[in-house]
Amino acid sequence: MTLQPLIFYASLFILSALVLKAIKHSRRLPPSPWALPIVGHLHLLGPSLHHSFHKLSTRYGPLMSIRIGSVLGVVTSSPDVTKELLKTNDVTFAARNSSAAIECLTYNSSFAFAPNGPYWQFMKKLTTVELLGSRTLLQFLPIRTNELHELIRFLFEKSKSGGSDFLTAGTDTSSMTVEWALAELINHPMVLQKAQQEIDQVVGRNRLVQESDVPHLPYIQVIIKESFRIHPPIPLLNRRALEDCKIGNYIIPKGTLLFVNLWSMGRDPETWKNPLEFQPERFLSESNSEIDVRGLHYRLLPFGTGRRGCPGLSLAMQELPTTLAAMIQCFNFKVTSPDGVVDMSERPGLSSPRAQDLVCVPVARCAPSIVN
């Protein structure tokens, strides 16, 4: 007997075993669109991943798998699935995906992308307890106050000169939040008016809002929450599976990238009534009043959750409401566009800044002596 038929049957056997294994494996993955050879689903993804994922998830459901070239990913936009992934399986998803570009840009010492090892543990403790802990935040309060006064003073100068060159589209999370919130307020004058009334009642117009006022400004707080819901500055949480993980009937294999689509979650009509409307009052209703942004309510996770959650949360939640409140305490904002409406489109990318600079003229509603 010649060797040729033997080699043929052996190859056929091995090939079928491999195909069967691949089919069995893929059957246990969450549903996914048809993939092309080599590119996988890359042809379905646009410049804003969260928009593309959102569109696909309306068809493939709250947990779907995706192939970015040869890399396997899963995408979720459901609070319940997110809870199972990031709370029940917190340790499994406590890693992120680093890349040569990130290593190069951060001189291989990124904290946010560090593997879940001793370096990350050390940095997390250092930032949470020391750099961004409550004691340090209190220590740096005079510096933050000074910066806020500088900003307001600058705006008074602009308002005197009628200048409109104001607020460029920043890419850092805090400036993005203030810009989106302010843009929403300009487009919703009734909400702005209600917020200004609250500040006038609680603080008055003779001194500038300060961080200690924020607990007494519940309407400002819900404006920030509502802004985070519609415009999460980081629209996709990004993690990587350190182990195989079973979610319902699905297996998510070790090494899979996980994307939690916060942007999509904030716009889900199953979770939110009139999700595309900017309505801060929704967070005052009985069913939503408990929701905060600290990572325990899986419907609203602008700072992420669990062990890879954002250590800058307390700092951000002290300065953001204060900055926004101070700006609207001292000014009304006239938009320069002919229709008087602010364009709300996003710039494509991994964060979601405004596409257009927010250009408007500050019109003073307090005396400049409010800042020292």
Annotated binding site: which residue ranges? 310
Buried b / exposed e along 295-304 (16+ C-beta atoms within 10 A): beebbbbbbb
For the annotated binding site for heme, the residues are 310
Q: 30 or 309: whose CB is closer to ligand HEM?
A: 309
The DSSP code for 309 is S
Instruction: Name the minimum Å distance from CB 223 to ligand HEM.
Output: 14
259: part of which helix (H) or strand (E)? strand 257-261
Integer CA distances (angstroms), 363 to 58, 106, 120, 166, 187, in order: 43, 41, 46, 12, 16
CA atoms within 13 A on the CB side of 2: 3
User: Please, what is the minimum distance in Å from the beta carbon of residue 304 to ligand HEM?
Assistant: 2
Residue 136 neighbours by CB under 8 Å, 6+ apart? 130
Nearer to ligand HEM, 118 or 269 (CB): 118
Cα 357 to Cα 343: distance, rounded to the nearest angstrom: 9
If binding is defined by CB under 6 A, does position 62 make contact with ligand HEM?
no
Single out the segment in contact with ligand HEM by CB under 6 A; choices: 3-11, 43-51, 268-276, 311-319.
Answer: 311-319
Q: Which C-beta is closer to ligand HEM: that of 18 or that of 138?
A: 138
Q: Which of 182, 223, 265, 316 binds ligand HEM (CB under 6 A)?
A: 316
The yes or no reply on residue 224 touching ligand HEM (CB under 6 A) is no
- Nearer to ligand HEM by C-beta: 32 or 323? 323
Neighbours of 15 (CB within 10 A): 10
Site membership for ligand HEM, residue 237 (CB under 6 A): yes
- Distance, in Å, from the CA atom of 144 to the CA atom of 323, rounded to the nearest integer, reads 10
Q: Does 310 bind ligand HEM (CB under 6 A)?
A: yes
Does 128 sit near ligand HEM (CB under 6 A)? no
Q: Which residues would be at the binding site for ligand HEM (CB under 6 A)? A: 111-112, 124, 132, 173-174, 177, 233-234, 237, 302-305, 308-312, 315-316
